[in-house]
A = this chain, B = another copy of it.
């Protein structure tokens, strides 16, 4: 079985000059990895014909799949398409269905169409046009001297839709790739090394064709099992067997699998149990409510919430007692419990959750340094509260706190915390 090699090229002066971080190449290589295509190099070059021609030539000597993003917008600094035409000795011609799509999009949005927008429908005459559902820049598929070249827009969400819906299936059917099967076990609340310690014996005894990777991110650790082999059914069974062995060891940290997210699975759990919830946020400032409401259909369980940023609002809109705030401060067990209990009562929900903390960078004291956060959960059985000691970083503190609260609701609903 031969390995198929890929190279990823991201084009744009803004990448070279460090004005944006290229996240496309990370995402693309992770997708290629899932289908057994090995990325052997990633390169970024500027909006410059010579630089682009050079890298195309070099990449085609090393890899049989060359994936390119960027440089397809309507303004004149976008030269990828012209350079591709030159590289392949092709002519740029207007692709009629592409033009129709662009014209339609502008009609729908009721914006005047410009010649530069029309020119986006011009593609090299050796290219297979790939529809970009979410924008006006076309995707293009080229076959040239045994290699495949794919050019995609640099806007991440446009590129991702194009990759998933069009490019990956085409690569699948064009190249013969080995059978690879992945299973992602998603955990929260236990650090990478502690998890590794718990499952060490199991990990040491994994079959040779099954690999384990730890992918940590902000309190989450994803465990990825990857099996490689000849026969799909056999690999899937092997992975299912290993999953069955490891699950009992880390059961309470697992919130989902594969593409599951904590917020999505929690949503399903709340729907299943017929529970409603309301949020009272101080330090998370709306981000917790956002994690709930980003999920389609979340209105079935998240009825609403309050961002009570000032003490006045904590009192007037959330009914926290003045004595409580005076005696204990906003970042305290007493305040957080009132916040969770009161939002539950005022919004008429089954569950109320709350956050209050010193997110930073300012506002810390010796007693309550930056990163001190209180969270609480209230339901008909009573109120649970907990103190967290987090980081010096504001954004991290906001994200971790919101995720810890989601995971707390999950554990409460699953009976893992009394």
Extra inter-chain contacts (15) besides given A22-B25, A296-B360, A298-B309, CB under 8 Å: A13-B213, A15-B42, A16-B40, A18-B25, A18-B27, A18-B30, A19-B215, A20-B215, A40-B46, A41-B43, A134-B393, A279-B286, A285-B294, A286-B286, A312-B348
Taking a contact as CB atoms under 8 Å apart, the answer to whether B30 and A26 are in contact is no
Taking the full assembly, how many copies of this chain does it contain?
Answer: 2
A197 within 8 Å of B (CB atoms): yes
A120 to chain B: closest residue by CB: B193
List chain A positions with a Cβ less than 8 A from chain B: 13-23, 25-33, 38-47, 51, 55, 58, 73-77, 109, 111, 114, 116-117, 134, 155, 157, 182, 184, 191-194, 196-197, 211-216, 224, 226, 279, 281, 284-290, 292-294, 296-299, 302-310, 312-313, 316-317, 346-348, 360-362, 389, 391, 393-396, 398
Residues of chain B with a CB closer than 8 A to A15's CB: 26, 42
A290 touches B294 (CB 8 A): no
Q: B347 contacts A317, CB within 8 Å?
A: yes
Q: Which residues of B contact A26 (CB under 8 A)?
A: 15, 18, 20-22
Please tell me which one of the listed residues B117, B296, B302, B309 contacts residue A304 in the complex, with CB atoms under 8 A apart: B309
B303 near A306: Cβ-Cβ < 8 Å: no
Report the separation of the CA atoms of residues A219 and B194 in the bound assembly, to the nearest whole angstrom: 43
Q: Which of A33, A117, A286 has the most CB of B within 10 A?
A: A286
* CB-defined contacts of A27 to chain B, threshold 8 Å: 18
Give the interface centre of A58, A299, A313 by most chain B CB atoms within 10 Å: A313
